[in-house]
Structure 1
Amino acid sequence: MPLRILYINYGSQSGVTAAVLERLRRAGHEVQVFDPVDGFLYKRRLGPVQIPNLRPGPVLATAAAMARFRRHWKPWYVHTTVAFDLLTARCERAVAAAAPDVVLQAGVLFAPVRDPLRRPHPPYYLYCDHTRALNERYDPVPGLDPPIPFEGGWRRRETEVYRGAAALFVMSEHVRRSLAADYGVSPDRVHVIGAGANVAPAGPPPAGPREQALLFVGRHFAAKGGPETLAAFEAVRARHPRAELWMVGGRQPERSPAGVRLLGPRPPAEVGALYARASAFVLPTLREAFGLSFLEAMSYGLPCVGTRIEAIPEIVADGATGLLVPPRDPAALAAAMLRLLDDPARARAMGEAGRWRAAERFGWDRAVRLLLQVIERGVAGRAPLAGSAPDAAAAAAPIDGRQGLG
């Protein structure tokens, strides 16, 4: 039965929004999209320039972010309780206007309705790649934004949204464990559906030898381990003087050492062409909610070198489809890169194993199919409106403080 779905998101989310919407509509469902952050940011566009957004909501959110986060307020602009409540009010109006059968929300920077544990509302489902509790546990790294600080008021709101959902979809077991340990969400209500590659070949990758090139794709150079990659490549170049390092993404340094090509941002088609030509993919990321780039590289048959953090070990099978190293360890990174370049046959075998792993365990068709199976069963078996969390024990559990909340 076709459903009327209100999809609440914020931004393109690295291609996730477009991929999910395409498959929901392809399955025959009527989907409306609402982005509460649209028009809410501290700047707005006026013709070719950006000017301060002086609407009351953004002004209040700006003041709250400045007071809470000081000089780091811009990256955490929507991470205050003031912004959470203002965005939730926007969502609630959208839900009332759309009158959907179900709401599907990406992430928890806001709630689809106020007081989801106590007030009637259409059933809503969440699709998450991370939690704030995981962000709070990041190690401080020079040159990167600091970990977002704990705030009890935010944690209470976030927990209520999780507990009020009809079900939760996550990209990784890593996030599923956080929901249980940090928010008291029953693991039975959390479904690991993975994600998919946004850049993928139309068919099998080309056969034959690849260029002696390592490919790095990361929007944020420092956060994705760009400096460590450059340092490690010096040792690689000493043994393989013809090897090259191709680096795609933003915020790159102005100059590069010998053998390094700083390509800057590139459109998907050009990135796909680089995946098809390179010998291996390298991304020693320091912070990674999931790791879509690894799935892209694997879909092109590339062995991957990544860091042993967050969900990456669920994507890259260490020793089978690639190699995992500790973060911020250029020596270990160089050793892994050299292992692949020293043994092209083994690298090709790892890449082929990765291609099969990506096809069998991941993919947007698979993720949305699993998501819809849960939603359609839920809609068929429940009343149109829900007034409390489906998990009565979770709804009754305490939300204040850090016990059960990280």
Structure 2
Amino acid sequence: MSSYHDLNDVGLMGPPKSRIAPSLLVLDQWAGPDVQAGTSKNWLYEGLGRSFHTNVLNADDETAARRSRLHCLFKAMLCRPFDARREFHRRMEWAAKHPQAFEARTRRFRRAVEMYSQPQDALFQVGCLFGPVTSNGAKSFSYHDQTVSMVERHWPQWLPKNFSSYRERFFELERASMQDKDLVFTYSESARHSMIEDYGLSPEKVTVAPTACKIAFPELHQALGKRSQKLLFVSTDFHRKGGDIVFRAFEILRRTFPELELIVLGGPAEQRLPKGARHLGLVSHGRLRAEYLSSALLLHPARYDAYPNVIKEAMACGLPAVASASAGIPEMVEHGETGLVMEEPDAVSVADAVSLLLEDEERLRVMRENCLLSRERYRPETCSATIAEAMLEKIGRTEKPEGEVA
């Protein structure tokens, strides 16, 4: 059963700025009530509601979604009982990247849009795993963190083992969905490049619009306060995010900095903790922010990460990062200014980078200040306004000052 949410009617935002606002229907297979979930775009929909009369549609049937999760969990427990969590998430990724799944989701969204009673000025699709979906001449937009082509190049573990047997058909579907759009938004220049080079979109049709930080920004005096000799690693996917590299680097660092601590947050650590490390698991957003504010550096030597939330959150709290150059990360961490970026990090290079910064307090202080300047581009209102303004221009509308009749 499809779910619709009229954000203006349920009180999640104020009314649109103009008296006669264009209507926008968001198509989001991950839409749900948890505003802090990694896939949540509620910050965006609330922001768009200041310019559009916004409704959010999730056409994925909850019963079918639950059945798929249970099937993937059963397969994971059967095939890899000692690594079931990671296998479960891998199989969930596999399930979405099949032509049949793509076409089935497209049909669900098309039926739901056809049943929708109100005419729309624009459709806004989240992600590239269905489509195209149209509605009586409405302008069509989409928003993407990555493409399946990027996944194939950088992290093929997310693709089914038999992906090669239907690869061309899947990319044909994905390409058709993207080429149907009037304007495509990507989190990063890395994803924009893939849209142009891998899917044949014209450069003027693809624009970069960074996604927002979802934790509350601390006050400047909080972010510039005293820090502990503590490193932070935050991840729900230990190996892909480079947890093993972090652990080995920390063991090297403890030889020079015997009082140094490592705090590990998120999913389970897949190997034994080194001496001086503590694993706190999944924590509240308040505790997460407290760790960002008290740590000296964030470590994120990810093998692949398209546009990590953790770096935005750290930056919002004035915490520099030592990170890999995966996908959009070099666009987030300005090398030498808000952290250090490495092409192919290993334990030794990460330890050397951390040591370099820990031994130069003045440089680290300047990096923290630079983070607090750079965080402004991740404010929800800034990010949503970038997208809203581009869409309004495309559909031929301009915002009217409050009180002016359109």
Q: Give, in whole Å, the separation in 1 of the partners of 2:233 and 2:61.
A: 31
Q: 1:75 aligns with which of 81, 93, 100?
A: 93
Is structure 2 residue 116 aligned with structure 1 residue 92?
no
| Structure 1 residues 35 and 346, CA gap change in structure 2 (3 angstroms) | farther
Question: CA separation in 2, counterparts of 1:72 and 1:221?
Answer: 13
SS at match of 2:95: coil
Q: Is the partner of 2:340 in helix, strand or coil?
A: strand
1:16 Cα deviation from its structure 2 partner: 3.9
Q: Secondary structure at the match of 2:275?
A: coil
Cα offset for 1:76? 0.8
Q: Which residue of 2 aligns with 1:111?
A: 131
1:195 is matched with: 211
Query: What corresponds to 2:27 in structure 1?
Result: 8
SS of 1:263's equivalent?
strand
Does residue 289 of structure 2 align to residue 272 of structure 1?
yes
Alignment of 1:32-71 (within 5 A): 32-36=56-60, 38-41=62-65, 43=67
Change (3 A) 1:91 1:348: same
Shift of 1:201: 2.5
1:374 and 1:38, CA in 2 relative to 1: closer, same or farther beyond 3 A? Answer: farther
Call closer, same or farther: CA 1:196–1:139 in 2, change over 3 Å.
closer
CA deviation string 1:95-139 (max 9, x = no partner)? 1122432111111100142xx6xx965322000110111111126
**In structure 2, how many angstroms separate the alpha carbons of the residues matched to 1:146 and 1:76?**
5
1:177 aligns with 2:193: yes
**Aligned AA (1:76):** W
For the structure 1 residues 231 and 146, does the alpha-carbon distance in structure 2 shift closer, same or farther, using more than 3 Å as the test? farther
Q: Secondary structure at the match of 2:235?
A: strand
Give 1:225 deviation, angstroms.
0.7
State the Cα distance separating 1:204 from its structure 2 match: 1.6
1:236 corresponds in structure 2 to 253
Q: Classify 1:356/1:102 alpha carbon distance in 2 versus 1 (closer, same or farther; 3 Å).
A: same
**What is the SS of the residue equivalent to 1:156?**
helix
Conserved 8 A contact 1:136-1:147? no
- Residue 312 of structure 1 and its aligned partner are, at CA, apart by 0.6
Specify the alignment match of 2:279 in structure 1: 262
| Contact kept? 1:210, 1:279, Cα under 8 Å | yes
Out of 217, 225, 242, the residue aligned to residue 225 of structure 1 is 242
Alignment-mate amino acid for residue 395 of structure 2: V
Gaps of 5+ in 2: 1-19, 32-36, 74-88, 398-406
Q: How far apart in 2 are the matches of 1:146 and 1:166?
A: 28
Distance change in 2, residues 1:52/1:244 (3 Å): closer
Question: How many Å separate the matches in 1 of 2:49 and 2:287?
Answer: 28
> 1:199 is matched by which residue type in structure 2?
I
Per-residue deviation at 1:42?
A: 6.1
- Checking the alignment, whether the CA contact within 8 Å between 2:218 and 2:317 is kept in structure 1 is no
* Alignment check: 8 A CA contact 1:6 1:34 kept: no
* 2:41 counterpart of 1:17: yes
Separation in structure 2 between the aligned mates of residue 146 and residue 33 of structure 1, nearest angstrom: 27
Which among 338, 352, 357 is matched to residue 374 of structure 2?
357
* 2:54 aligned residue: 30
CA deviation profile, 1:137-181 (whole Å, cap 9, x unmatched): 1266xxx55687451111111111111101111111111111111
Distance in 2 (CA, whole Å) between partners of 1:135 and 1:51 is: 23
The alignment-based identity, stated in percent, is 28
**Aligned AA (2:392):** E
Report the 3-state secondary structure (helix = DSSP H, G, I; strand = E; otherwise coil) of the residue aligned with 1:380: coil
Change (3 A) 1:44 1:147: closer
- Map 1:153-172 to 2 at 5 A: 153-172=169-188
| Corresponding residue SS for 1:76 | helix
Tell me the number of residue pairs that the alignment of Structure 1 and Structure 2 aligns. Answer: 353
Task: Encode CA deviations 1:290-330: one digit per residue, 9 max, x unaligned.
Answer: 12211111111111110012111111011111001233511
| Alignment partner of 1:126 is 2:145 | no
* Paired residues of 2:250 and 2:262 also in contact (CA < 8 A): yes
Compare 89-98 and 202-211 and name the one that shifted more: 202-211
Secondary structure, aligned partner of 1:176: helix
Which among 284, 290, 293 is matched to residue 301 of structure 2? 284
